[in-house]
Amino acid sequence: MNYLNLIRWKNLIMIALMQSIIKYGFFLPFGVQTTLNYFQFTLLIIATICIAAAGNIINDIYDVDTDFINKPEKIIVGNSISEKTAYNLFIAFNFIGVGLGFYISHSIGKSTFFSIFVIISALLYVYASYLKQTFLIGNIIISMLVSLSIVIVGIFELIPTMTSQNQPFQLVFFKILLHFALFAFLINLIREMAKDIEDVEGDAKASMQTLPIVIGSEKASKVLFVISFIPIIAVIYYIHTYLYKQIFAVGYFLVFIVGPLLYVSIRIFNAKTKKDFHFVSNMIKLVMLLGMLSLLLYKFILFI
């Protein structure tokens, strides 16, 4: 179980579920022309979660000192799993993920797509070793990588099949995917900022320059409260612009996305303790899942 916790197995399952929903619950029901067969798509999921697992491992390795203060009961590296073993696992997962990325890219005749896996792998390492300690840059980078785990499905499935005849049809779905990727970016950015406030004590002792350390936890909490309204406004705008005629979809978005986001904002406003911000972080993960599940609605509400 320690090895599963090290790679954050719940988050990896969420990535696999999200990518599967995009292909089987969103693209295929509309007869969208896709590139990858079942085997290739399975390899894409494995490649993505392997690189994500490697990123989680290297993050834990570099966070050992801060975790002794922030969450000593959850320390794995140096406790139940040695640092050497963790490093070996980091290398192995990266090797598998990047290797599969190389195979998939070449098998569909898009060798340049291989660079995506290399860039993601490199950025996760740089994030853990340096960017995480910087003012907001680390939060932005990791949120971009989360959104890229959504976009990558569109890159591999839609772009290689585009022709002058089907391009308008394909672009409709790619555009919707980009909307959800932007939502994931905003949601994850809020979560990362909440985690920084939660972990401020240990991060300060490690001389990090996160938002709550630079401006103070109280001011950072106020900034987070204001930023938490951005996805709410964005979702309401999306409902008004694209879904206003679809009552069922409007109801889902209001009840399961806007409602929880408003609740998150209220909890942020009242948050004072580590426990409060930890709750906010978990709530945001739930909202992200509910947001991705809404893709399953499109086969009932989207008419092209």
Q: Give the pTM.
A: 0.92
* CA–CA separation, 212 and 197 (whole Å): 6
pLDDT at 68 over 90: no
What is the tens place of the pLDDT at every residue in 208-219? Answer: 888 999 999 899
What is the tens place of the pLDDT at every residue in 244-303? Answer: 778 888 899 999 999 999 999 999 999 988 899 999 999 999 999 999 899 888 877 655
Decide: helix, strand or coil at residue 209: coil
Amino acid at 173: F
- Asked if 202 contacts 66 with a C-beta cutoff of 8 angstroms, the reply is yes
CA 140 vs. chain centroid, Å, equals: 11
- Asked if 115 contacts 104 with a C-beta cutoff of 8 angstroms, the reply is no
pLDDT at 58 over 70: yes
Token pair belonging to 247:
């009552």
In DSSP terms, 77 is beta-bridged to 81
